[in-house]
Amino acid sequence: MRIGMAWTGTGQLRRAAAAGVLVVALSGSAACTGTAPGGPTAAGSATAPTGAPTTPTSAPTTAPPAGPAPVPDVLRFTGTTLGGTAFDAAQLAGRPVVLWFWAPWCATCASQAWTVAEIAPKYRDTVPIVGVAGLGERKAMKEFVTEFDLGATPQIEDTRGALWKRFKVTEQSIFVIIDRDGAVVHKGFLDGEALTAKVTALAGA
């Protein structure tokens, strides 16, 4: 019994040793074939040979930032506000613009001034309203602006009537509305309600 058991143990040891050799051999073979140039990978796909050119990955492109809006001819004018600040209408390009031609002694202008003072700050960035004061003295114009709280709205001094002539305005109170493309879409009288409706519509367009 002891001899049989010993032989059996020896046989098991030999078979285990042989199996170990076989595993090592197979492992070595697999390692070689896995790194061979152009050979299949474990997933079955071919690998690129060493030193082979690779296709570059293109970087994502982004749209260039939008440049300033082109200035239409209708907005190519400058002036000076009643506060003494230089004004360049080119800065309004790309947006709808409302020009309000008024005179300091005009009762109709006074009735419209309350509406302008109310809505102009609200739409300052979307539909700027710019006053063009004429047919009067500078002192009276400044008093008009103070009385009706129009200081938050640019008011151009046009005592010589240069802008009135440019836009062919012959009477007060006249609103000239210019769309974002530089086309004059309204020229004439507007009461407070109509002015508010037009400015609101332009802001949402």
For 63-111, the pLDDT digits (tens) are: 555 567 899 999 999 999 999 999 999 999 999 999 999 999 999 999 9
25 versus 185: the higher-pLDDT residue is: 185
Burial of 27 (0-12, 13-18, 19+ CB in 10 A): exposed
Q: Indicate the average pLDDT of the chain.
A: 78
Q: What is the pLDDT of residues 155-191, one digit of tens each?
A: 999 999 999 999 999 999 999 999 999 999 999 999 9
Cβ contact 145:130 at 8 Å: no
Q: Is the pLDDT of residue 38 over 50?
A: no
Packed helices 107-119 and 138-147: angle between N→C axes, nearest 10 degrees: 50
Burial of 71 (0-12, 13-18, 19+ CB in 10 A): middle
Instruction: Tell the residue number behind the tokens 């030999």, with chain if given.
Output: 14
Q: What is the number of other CB atoms lying within 10 angstroms of the CB of residue 182? A: 17
Tell me how far apart the alpha carbons of residues 42 and 163 are, in angstroms, rounded to a whole number. Answer: 81
Tell me how far apart the alpha carbons of residues 74 and 79 are, in angstroms, rounded to a whole number. Answer: 14
pTM given for the model: 0.68
Q: What are 111's strand-pairing partners?
A: none
190 versus 44: the higher-pLDDT residue is: 190
